[in-house]
Amino acid sequence: MKFGFDIDDTLINLREHAFHIYNKKLGKNIPIETFHQIDRVEIHEPFGLTDEQGNAMWNNTLEDIYYTFCPPFPDAVETLQALAKQGHEIYYITSRPKEHGERTKEWVKARGFPVEDDRFFYGMEDEEKVDFIKNLQLDYYFDDKPKVLNTLLKENTKVYVKDQPYNRNVSLPRIVHWNELKNIIGNGKQ
């Protein structure tokens, strides 16, 4: 089977990692419980930043956010390694900008994810992911962003939402922990 995965906040805990970086860079000590209550993708509001300031903060700290040690979600690496070992095709489809694509691919490989160079796609807008997913004829696709997931509602691909506070209003099957995947595909669950 063909499996497609977003990276940020689907396989790795990027937003929480960025939250810790914001605390450090801004000299704040906002508790992690506050992070877990943020119901949008952007994380700047608890720091008292406007949307414009938050966007600038994100862009100015991308190097730290993307390339320092952002932890994978529990069992993400092992689950994808097991899929690859079983002969499944693993595709990565990320909206990270083109200028970060190759470096991101190497970073993902270094974390232990099974990556084949011709199955790693980057540099598209969120809403453009649907074209890649359709062209690849994926059996399963996993993502966290409602903006992406909503573009896939009429496709044949089995779409799963990686559970996050900001996507709880999405009415699709969801995966909370990566160890659930073996049960999903083992049961032929839709």
8 tagged catalytic:
yes
117 tagged catalytic:
no
- Which one of the listed residues 8, 9, 143, 144 is annotated catalytic? 8
Is residue 138 within 8 Å of 6, Cβ to Cβ? no
3-class DSSP assignment, residue 72:
strand
Distance CA 127, CA 131 (A): 9
Distance CA 94, CA 19 (A): 20
**121-125: which pairs have CB atoms within 8 A and are 24 or more residues apart?**
121/91, 121/92, 121/93, 121/94, 122/92, 122/93, 122/94, 122/95, 122/96, 122/97, 122/98, 123/96, 123/97, 123/98, 124/93, 124/95, 125/95
- Catalytically active residues are 6, 8
